[in-house]
């Protein structure tokens, strides 16, 4: 199997976690495009349990960064997007479907950010109880809404090379 980076997939291989941002703002129109892309993701039985909290307030971004051990880039990001899930809206009320659906939305958001020239970084919240509780409080989430992740977004102040982490040993054919 070839491991060369197929140029037709450059939008995918070029998407990297960006942790340094310029000070320029990201417009509401671009944020709407990111959210539309996120919500274009597949979800189990089209239940679309994802919910989003868009955060621009510098103090709130700093508070979120303080409770996410790898989230200090939120303090310089133009916007933070908390990706949450409504368990009552998930297929069968199942946490597993909610997590899969939200993860698909997150990846769409990350790819859209890259396609629009933005930088973004996915910060895990779930399953860490302390992070879940902190974000629930900071964002004033209702009881039925679970914070899954935060995504820092801004105009990149760094460039990462395109890459894949393809590992042939992780691929099995027909059976294990």
Token pair recorded at residue 44: 């189990």
Which CATH entry fits the domain spanning 16-158: 3.30.360.10, 3.30.420.40, 3.40.109.10, 3.40.50.300?
3.40.109.10
Q: Note the pLDDT of residue 78.
A: 98
Tens of pLDDT along 108-134? 999 999 999 999 999 999 999 999 999
**Number of neighbouring beta carbons within 10 Å of residue 45:** 10
| Band of pLDDT at residue 5, cut at 50, 70 and 90 | confident
Average pLDDT over residues 67-85: 98
pTM of the predicted protein model: 0.95
Alpha helices by DSSP H, listed for the chain, are: 10-13, 28-38, 58-67, 95-115, 129-138
């Amino acid at each position: 199997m070839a491991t060369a980076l197929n140029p037709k997939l450059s939008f995918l291989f070029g998407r990297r976690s960006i942790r340094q941002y310029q000070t320029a703002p990201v417009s509401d129109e671009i944020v709407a495009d990111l959210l539309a892309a996120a919500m274009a993701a597949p979800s189990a039985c089209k239940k679309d349990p994802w919910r989003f909290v868009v955060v621009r307030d510098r103090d709130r971004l700093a508070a979120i960064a303080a409770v996410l051990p790898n989230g200090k880039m939120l303090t310089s990001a133009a916007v933070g997007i908390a990706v949450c899930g409504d368990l009552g809206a998930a297929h069968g009320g199942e946490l597993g479907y909610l997590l899969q659906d939200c993860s698909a939305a997150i990846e769409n958001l990350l790819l859209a950010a890259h396609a629009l020239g933005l930088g973004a970084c996915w910060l895990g919240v779930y399953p860490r109880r302390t992070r879940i509780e902190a974000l629930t409080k900071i964002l004033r989430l209702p009881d039925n809404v679970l914070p899954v992740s935060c995504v820092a977004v801004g105009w990149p102040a760094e460039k990462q090379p395109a890459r894949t982490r393809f590992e042939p040993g992780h691929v099995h054919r027909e059976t294990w």
